[in-house]
Amino acid sequence: MVATASRSQRWRVLRRSPTFWVGGFLVLMWVVFAVFGDFVTPYEPRGTPQDILNRLQPPSAEHWFGTDDLGRDVLSRVLAGSRQVLTVAVSATILGTVLGTFIGLLIGYYGGLIDDVVSRVLDAFLSIPLVITGMLALAALGPNTIGVILVIGLVFTPIIAKTVRAAVLSERQLDYVTAAQLRKENSLYVMFVEILPNVWSIVIVEFTVRLGYAIFTVLALSFLGFGVEPQTPDWGADIFQHYGQLTGRVWWPVLFPAMAIALLVVGVNLLADATSQAFE
Amino acid sequence: MTRFVLRRIGLALITLVLLSVLVFIGTQLLPGDVGRRILGPFATQEAVDVLNARLGTDRPLLVQYWDWITSAVTGDLGFSISFSRPVTELLGRALVNSLKLGALAFVIVVPLSLLGGIVAALKRGTFIDRIITVGGLSATVIPEFVSGIVLIVVFAVFLGWLPGFATAPPGSGFFTQLRHLILPAIPLVLVLFGYIARITRAGVIEALDADYTRTAILKGLPRSTVIRRDVLRNALLPTIAVIASQVGYLIGGLVVVEVLFGYQGVGKLLFDAARNADFPLLASGVLVVGASFQVSMLLADVAYSWLNPRIRIS
Amino acid sequence: MTTLPALEVENLAIEYKIGTEWKTAVRDINFTVEHGESYGLVGESGCGKTTIAMAIMHYLSRNGRVSEGSIRLKGREFVDLSRRELRRARIDDISMVYQDPATALNPSLRIGTQVADVFELLGVAASEHHRRVIDVLKKVQIADPARVVERYPHQLSGGMLQRVVIAMAIASEPALLVLDEPTTGLDATVEAEVLDLVASLRDEIGTSVLFISHNLAVIRKMCDRTCVLYAGRMMAEGPTEEIFTEPRHPYTVGLLRCLPNPDVGSRDEMSLDTIPGFLPPLGAEIRGCVYVDRCAMSQDICIEVEPGLNDVGGGRVSRCHFPDEAPNLPRTVAADPVERKRSDQTLVEIKGASKTFMQDGHPVYALSNIDLAIKVGETVGLVGESGSGKSTLAKVLLGIHTPDDGTVITLSGEELASELERRGQEEIGAVQMVFQNPDSALNRRHSVHRIIGRAVQLLRGGRRNEREDRIKSLLREVRMGMQHYNSKPRHLSGGLKQRVAIARAFAGSPALVVCDEPTSALDVSVQAAIINLLSELQVEENVAYLFISHDLNVVRYIADRVAVMYLGRLMEVGTSDRVFSGPNHPYTEALLSASPELADDKRIRLEGEIPEPSNPPSGCVFQTRCPRKIGEICETVEPELVEAEPGWFKRCHIPVEELRAMQMGASA
């Protein structure tokens, strides 16, 4: 009987799952804002010097989400903030996935000493929680978007490498790999043409799952004040700047970015969940 | 089993050593030299050199590393530049605080997520299952500071039921301290719940579908016995390892939560150290954190190997 | 006094939910298992036998349901029982033995606890549990029950575990015992033991047995009456002997003709017949006879009208319009064998092959000093049970495992490097392999033409269009049409996949192909086709085979010479005729007697378990279980492999004349 699903079967499962559509909608919405933000925002997100006169205004007809403590329109900053998060998180996840898949393939295929050594190094990296590594690196690098992408991408590499390695190890047991060795196939061909297509679905699922964590980590780091260039609209940094105001009942510069975060991460997560269901 | 445990300890030690090397290299990669960073850009070069000589940062790297490691093992973790106290003292106190918070979060989340996973599995495919699974997973990805802030706004600012900062006044009793720790614990619980529940669910489903469960049912055993002895007993075993692996996320979460709630734990300490470029504190702090994580994984592996007859006896 | 039949199945129909629709999997099932009777359900994969068994056990999967009919256990309707009554019935009246004993037991509980459950459920006093457990374990011939009771499942062998499962099943002395492929995963000698055990327990307790298997020989041995199933319908039913000796259904006839057996002789005497075509898809609406597409004697009426179960005398029924014509079923494959040229030239010589693995610091002696020669165009059959080392030998030959120092392997006179990496391209192409499991052997993401094409590219070279021609000619050679050129493995049946694997192995015009159980994962009708194919290819390409199999009948059919391995050593080597006529090494003797078709009435029983390769017995490795052991010499001195007759080798202290006297002389 047929054991593996085909691409069209997977699409059918995806299309029928409500989580896919809800998640997809939420993510798409933010992607649109990220790309077209400049045309959609009612005010300049980075603010103008005159805005300071208008600071901390509650939500009103002119400013639906109110203004922040520098007088900037919160709605505009929320819409524009998606760009920062998405650019960094997506790039970092792609970087980590590419590197991690490469490493996982290599050590899974060759095994032996290379596997032992590299796995120990990966374990060492994984002993340190992501946020802390990010914090350290960014403390050194200073506010630097490229730096954040590199750091998070590199920090994700070990865990993706481990997942890919596990999948490669189980593929390696199968006879088609032995058959390839029996025609003296070169190793790169076996890794990338024979094995990779079979672990590809695992890679896709890892990507969508890590994307959620990437967003999470990016936001946590910017909340803690690392890695964001000043004035850039960023949900995490904006929350950090304003949460002290909560005691004064100034809730709007904090709540709206927080809701934006919730919508995005839940969207990404639903997508990831739907994808892993389809690829099961 | 002893052979397994010994091997595992050996591996953990190797990883720890590698970790220390990584941390050390990491701190060395940071730009600028230590003396200059402390004294600032306006101090003279001589003063910087004198400070560097006193701190020992002008010695060869290997010597510095060796010195650091050997002191660390004996309990001297260096001297914090920003706090002007021995690192060991600072870390010691911070660890105790973080342990309290982390333990509270764990005590809440582990039974909750195990139960959630089991219920979701037993009611596989139903509405309850979807709520637990999807809900849990959604809660996982909401950053702690987001849920933390929402909690502060609702429970501390508007309702005033619970304190919005985690540090209780000095000399407070157990229950007061607990009251202060509840709000910070909740974001941690939310983040950990989804993953543990999901893995538990998968494990229980696998056990439900297993041949040995079929044998038990066809023997005529009552359903409750089958669930207890065949399903849960075999399904919950691997979750031990999963729970241990979540300690890493817990520690990461502590950083954000402690900063948000103003709590003097390891997370906040590392945060302050990073912002002040306090290398001794930073290096030793990260080392201790990493080591704690490794130790918890090791303990979990040992527990697993003792509970799993296949490894215990062979 | 008439006793109620143990099981009555009437008009049973079962449906499965595929996607959103319910499709009928099984229909019109009617049979009765009388008190004390043993009834067999036999058929290939997809025939519905396991579905029926699960329905009887009331354990269909979540997407299955009984749509029609009744199942009565000892006269009581079973289909709609309450939860409590169902439990009661499971405790007292019906028990099951499963295919895989290793997964059927809870890995976290001791054996004793799991067996004691049954007694607890039967209401036996707690103080009595231990004694009853020991008793029932003794009943299934477990030698040291007190120790086994303390063990966990992972510490016991497959045969031992199956005995435990049987013990749990008979402990309640049920009215009906259902056995679902109970010996499929077990070694031949262990299988024979377990089957004998089931037969003797049945005599002792008087329980009725429902025996489900795809193995016709086992069914024939174990069952009083049998039902042959195909595509969820009953095709034929009756007393087992009559069903097999005087079949009255074309499917039964076809199946029997697919099997190599002593009457058929060897491949030099007759080709195996096959059953063309494929099983109809699940739930397909077929107006006429469900077998019509594959039946060589079908007529128009067969397409229009489904036959009923016609009485054909002797207690048999057959679902066929022309049952009396069945024995004259025209053959699909001509009976004439293919003419072979035999050669005396040695192709491959293996000298002193040894392989020791290290496992957790302990050495595992997989191979010990093997000497074997394979001639050009010859088929050498390699038989042995688990731990015999036959797969290791194949892998050493192929270069996948590096043998210990001192091993010499030559190909056409030239020494072959022991590691694959150091062999040349031509040498690699000359020695290839066909694997057991076609699903694992083909890359699920690659198309047929890429799978074969890559092998052609590396093993043969040539320009693009030369390679394309070669791929096409290989597909023709394995009798596959061009319509599969771009298919992926998941679109192909097991038999087709194996053909692709064979085409790939032949890409570089090999001189020797190692066939590692190439038909074990396939249905009976497909096995015959693959065996015929391998046979024809051997003649066309003048290729030699090292044919590894646990099925002695297949080996007898296809092999010119046979080598018997036990615990990494060769025990007996000789021509196929010589080995299968005897006299034999005591181990071979036991193996042959374990095979239901090849055995005469006496069964040689082997005591004990196969020893661990990491801890071989002293002296002759077989001495711990040898029923013909002569004395201390067997325990202290390992015999050499000696040519006791021209072309026949044995590793045994007993002289061949004595073996002849023991095995063929007056046995009374």
Q: Taking CB atoms and an 8 Å cutoff, what residues of chain C touch B214? A: 59, 98, 104
| Strand C176-180, strand C208-213: pairing | parallel
Which single residue is written with the structure tokens 């052979």?
B3
Q: Residue C667: what pLDDT?
A: 47
Q: Is C358 helix (H, G, I), strand (E, B) or coil?
A: strand
Q: What is the 3-state secondary structure (H, E, C) of C407-418?
A: CEEEECCEECCC
Contact C400 A182 (CB under 8 A): yes
Q: Residue A80: what pLDDT?
A: 86
Q: Is B260 on the interface with A (CB under 8 A)?
A: yes
Q: List all chains that touch chain C, counting a touch as 3 or more CB pairs closer than 8 Å.
A: A, B
The two structure tokens encoding residue C81: 């029982």
The two structure tokens encoding residue C239: 């007393």
Whether omega before C583 lies within 30 degrees of 0, making that bond cis, reads: yes
46-75 of C, contacting B, C-beta below 8 A: 57, 59
Q: Residue B31: what pLDDT?
A: 61
> In a mutagenesis test of the A interface, which of C443, C488, C515 is the best target, namely the one with the most A β-carbons within 10 Å?
C443
Residue ranges per domain, chain B? 2-73, 90-313
Which single residue is written with the structure tokens 């070279």?
C461
Main-chain phi, psi angles of B29, to 5 degrees? -75, -20
CB of B213 closer than 8 Å to CB of B158:
no
pLDDT tens digit sequence for A184-238? 899 999 999 999 999 998 898 889 888 888 888 888 888 888 777 777 888 888 8
Q: Give CA–CA dist C247/C269, Å, rounded.
A: 23
Contact B22 A265 (CB under 8 A): no
Over residues C485-510, the mean pLDDT reads 93
Q: Taking CB atoms and an 8 Å cutoff, what residues of chain B touch A226? A: 274
Nearest by CB to C98, from B215, B217, B237: name it. Answer: B215
Over residues A165-179, the mean pLDDT reads 93
Nearest by CB to C121, from B220, B229, B237: name it. Answer: B220
Nearest by CB to C459, from A6, A181, A183: name it. Answer: A183
Q: Is A113 on the interface with B (CB under 8 A)?
A: no
Of residues A132 and C496, the one with the higher pLDDT is C496
In this structure, which topology does domain B90-313 adopt according to CATH? Answer: MetI-like fold (1.10.3720)
Q: Is B221 on the interface with A (CB under 8 A)?
A: no
Q: Which residue of A has its CA nearest to C282?
A: A1
C68 bridge partner residues = C13
**Cβ-proximal residues to C456 (8 Å cutoff; 6+ apart), any chain:** C462, C467, C470, C471, C474, C507, C508
Which single residue is written with the structure tokens 């969207």?
A267
B6 bridge partner residues = none
Which single residue is written with the structure tokens 């061949």?
C656
Nearest by CB to C440, from A2, A174, A194: name it. Answer: A174
* Residue C666 clears pLDDT 70, i.e. is over it: no
Q: Is A73 helix (H, G, I), strand (E, B) or coil?
A: strand
Contact C104 B215 (CB under 8 A): yes
Main-chain phi, psi angles of B162, to 5 degrees? -130, 155
DSSP C528-548: HHHHHHHHHHHHHHT-EEEEE
Over residues C113-141, the mean pLDDT reads 93
- Tally A–C CB contacts below 8 A: 58
Nearest by CB to A184, from C436, C441, C458: name it. Answer: C458
- C-alpha distances in Å from residue B76, one per residue of B85, B86, B267, C223: 12, 8, 20, 79
* Residue C472 clears pLDDT 90, i.e. is over it: yes
With a pLDDT cut of 90, the percent of chain C lying above it is 58
Q: How far is A278 from chain C (nearest CA, A)?
A: 15
- Tally B–C CB contacts below 8 A: 68
Q: Which residue of C has its CA nearest to A12?
A: C19
Nearest by CB to A246, from B15, B134, B152: name it. Answer: B152
Burial profile C534-556: b = 16 or more Cβ within 10 angstroms, e = fewer: bbbbbeeeebbbbbbbbbbbbbb
Of residues B310 and C399, the one with the higher pLDDT is C399
With a pLDDT cut of 70, the percent of chain A lying above it is 96
The two structure tokens encoding residue B39: 């004294």
> In a mutagenesis test of the B interface, which of C108, C115, C612 is the best target, namely the one with the most B β-carbons within 10 Å?
C108
Closest CA to C504 of C551, C421, C462, C446: C446
Q: Is A169 helix (H, G, I), strand (E, B) or coil?
A: helix
Residues of chain B with pLDDT under 50: none
Q: Residue B307: what pLDDT?
A: 86
Over residues A265-270, the mean pLDDT reads 87
Q: Residue B37: what pLDDT?
A: 65
Q: Is B80 helix (H, G, I), strand (E, B) or coil?
A: coil
Encoded amino acid at B9, one letter: I
- C-alpha distances in Å from residue A43, one per residue of A76, A237, A241, A257: 6, 19, 20, 16
Nearest by CB to B210, from C103, C117, C154: name it. Answer: C103
CB of C427 closer than 8 Å to CB of C458:
no
Closest CA to A138 of B275, B144, B251, B287: B275
Q: Taking CB atoms and an 8 Å cutoff, what residues of chain C touch B215? A: 96, 98, 104-106, 165, 168
Q: Which residue of C has its CA nearest to A6?
A: C490
The two structure tokens encoding residue A38: 């400049």
Q: Residue C602: what pLDDT?
A: 66
Nearest by CB to A129, from B144, B248, B271: name it. Answer: B248
Q: Taking CB atoms and an 8 Å cutoff, what residues of chain B touch A212? A: 141
Over residues A11-33, the mean pLDDT reads 86
Nearest by CB to B271, from A140, A213, A224: name it. Answer: A224
Q: Give CA–CA dist B298/B10, Å, rounded.
A: 10
Q: How far is C220 from chain B (nearest CA, A)?
A: 27
Q: Residue A4: what pLDDT?
A: 46
Q: Give CA–CA dist B245/B297, Å, rounded.
A: 6
CB of C101 closer than 8 Å to CB of C158:
yes
**Cβ-proximal residues to C466 (8 Å cutoff; 6+ apart), any chain:** none
Burial profile A25-46: b = 16 or more Cβ within 10 angstroms, e = fewer: ebbeebbebbeebeeebebebe
Ramachandran sector of residue A205 (left: φ over 0; alpha: ψ -120 to 50; beta: rest): alpha
Which single residue is written with the structure tokens 């099983």?
C279
Q: Is C274 helix (H, G, I), strand (E, B) or coil?
A: coil
Q: Is C155 on the interface with B (CB under 8 A)?
A: yes
User: CB atoms < 10 A from the CB of A162, how many?
Assistant: 18
Q: Which residue of B has its CA nearest to C61?
A: B209
- C-alpha distances in Å from residue C596, one per residue of A134, A229, C192, C252, C552: 69, 81, 8, 18, 10
Instruction: Say what the pTM is.
Output: 0.87
CB of C41 closer than 8 Å to CB of C214:
no
- As to burial, measured by CB atoms within 10 angstroms (0-12 exposed, 13-18 middle, 19+ buried), residue C472 is middle
Q: How far is B137 from chain C (nearest CA, A)?
A: 27
Q: How far is C164 from chain A (nearest CA, A)?
A: 31
Q: Which residue of A has its CA nearest to B28?
A: A140
CB of C655 closer than 8 Å to CB of C585:
no
Which single residue is written with the structure tokens 């077929």?
C286
pLDDT tens digit sequence for C316-369? 999 999 999 888 888 888 888 878 888 889 999 999 999 999 887 789 999 998
The helix or strand, by DSSP H or E, that contains position A210, with its residue range, turns out to be: helix A196-223
Task: Dump strand ranges (E) for C48-200.
Answer: 64-73, 76-77, 94-97, 176-180
pLDDT band at A3 (very low <50, low <70, confident <90, very high): very low
47-106 of A, contacting B, C-beta below 8 A: none
pLDDT tens digit sequence for C556-606? 999 999 999 999 999 999 999 999 987 999 999 999 888 876 665 667 778
CB of B183 closer than 8 Å to CB of B156:
yes
C380 bridge partner residues = C546, C561
CB of B201 closer than 8 Å to CB of B121:
yes
> In a mutagenesis test of the C interface, which of A10, A168, A184 is the best target, namely the one with the most C β-carbons within 10 Å?
A184
Q: How many residues can be counted in chain B?
A: 314
CB of C94 closer than 8 Å to CB of C178:
yes
Over residues A58-85, the mean pLDDT reads 84
Closest CA to C531 of C560, C506, C559: C559
> In a mutagenesis test of the C interface, which of B213, B215, B305, B307 is the best target, namely the one with the most C β-carbons within 10 Å?
B215
Task: Dump strand ranges (E) for C444-543.
Answer: 512-516
Q: Taking CB atoms and an 8 Å cutoff, what residues of chain A touch C429? A: 183
Q: Is B275 on the interface with C (CB under 8 A)?
A: no
Write down the mean pLDDT value for chain C. 90
Q: Which residue of C has its CA nearest to A5?
A: C490
Q: Which residue of C has its CA nearest to B311?
A: C154
Q: Give CA–CA dist C256/C216, Å, rounded.
A: 8
With a pLDDT cut of 90, the percent of chain A lying above it is 27
214-253 of A, contacting B, C-beta below 8 A: 215-216, 219-220, 223-226, 236, 239-240, 243, 246-247, 249, 251
Q: Is B220 on the interface with C (CB under 8 A)?
A: yes
Q: Taking CB atoms and an 8 Å cutoff, what residues of chain C touch B222? A: 87
Main-chain phi, psi angles of C68, to 5 degrees? -155, 155
Nearest by CB to A224, from B23, B256, B286: name it. Answer: B256
Nearest by CB to C104, from B3, B212, B220: name it. Answer: B212
> In a mutagenesis test of the B interface, which of C61, C62, C92, C106 is the best target, namely the one with the most B β-carbons within 10 Å?
C106
- Work out the end-to-end distance of chain C between its first and last CA atoms, rounded to an integer number of angstroms: 40
C513 bridge partner residues = C432, C545
Q: Residue C458: what pLDDT?
A: 92
- Work out the end-to-end distance of chain A between its first and last CA atoms, rounded to an integer number of angstroms: 17
| Strand C408-411, strand C362-375: pairing | unpaired
